[in-house]
């Protein structure tokens, strides 16, 4: 990989806007990591319809490995109060809640500027209410040559 390849966020994968649904752990399947390890370099949710009530949410990774434990990618965040055009992102620290806000003050994955390594599995989104509609954009760089991330 050339040095200039490190300047970009990597490969972009977009999940079209959809209403959030109630999904317990491991969450609604959003993306699949396959073929090996990837470095997650960004994950943003764009609010297209604001939630009207409380809705606590978080991201997880359910590994393909038999007997593998579900990995928490973020602690829960109540997205009530988000407005159309607001963003959500993970911090990159598993024990820390997602952060949300307006574009002018948002920083993507501030606790992990070099990215988060993910193995094969399903990235899921846990929500406790049918509140809010979001479009999700994920960026990644393959660590293994055949590793990919796709939308479910």
- Residue 65 Cα distances to 71, 119, 120, angstroms: 12, 9, 8
Task: Look up the domain containing 109 and give its range.
Answer: 3-151
The confidence band for 8, taking pLDDT boundaries of 50, 70 and 90, is confident
How many angstroms separate the CA atoms of 71 and 34, rounded? 16
Rounded to two decimals, the pTM is 0.90
DSSP state of 5: G
One-character DSSP codes across 47-93 = EEE---S--EEEEEEEESSTTPPPEESSB-EE-TT--TT-EEE--S-
What pLDDT score does 5 carry? 67
The confidence band for 25, taking pLDDT boundaries of 50, 70 and 90, is confident
- pLDDT over 70, % of the chain: 93
Across all residues in the chain, what is the average pLDDT? 89
As for how many domains the chain has, the answer is 1
């Amino acid at each position: 990989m050339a040095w200039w390849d490190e300047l970009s966020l990597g490969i972009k994968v977009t999940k079209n806007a959809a209403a959030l649904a109630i999904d317990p752990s491991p969450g609604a399947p959003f993306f699949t990591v396959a073929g090996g390890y990837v470095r997650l370099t960004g994950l943003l949710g764009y609010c297209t319809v604001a939630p009207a009530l409380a809705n606590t949410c978080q991201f997880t990774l359910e590994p393909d490995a038999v007997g593998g434990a579900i990995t928490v990618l973020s602690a829960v965040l109540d997205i009530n109060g988000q407005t159309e055009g607001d963003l959500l992102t993970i911090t990159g620290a598993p024990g820390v809640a997602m952060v949300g806000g307006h574009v002018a003050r948002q920083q993507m994955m501030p606790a992990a500027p070099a990215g988060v390594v993910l193995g094969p599995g399903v990235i899921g989104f846990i929500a406790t209410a049918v509140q809010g509609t979001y479009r999700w954009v994920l960026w990644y760089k393959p660590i293994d040559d055949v590793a990919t991330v796709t939308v479910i």
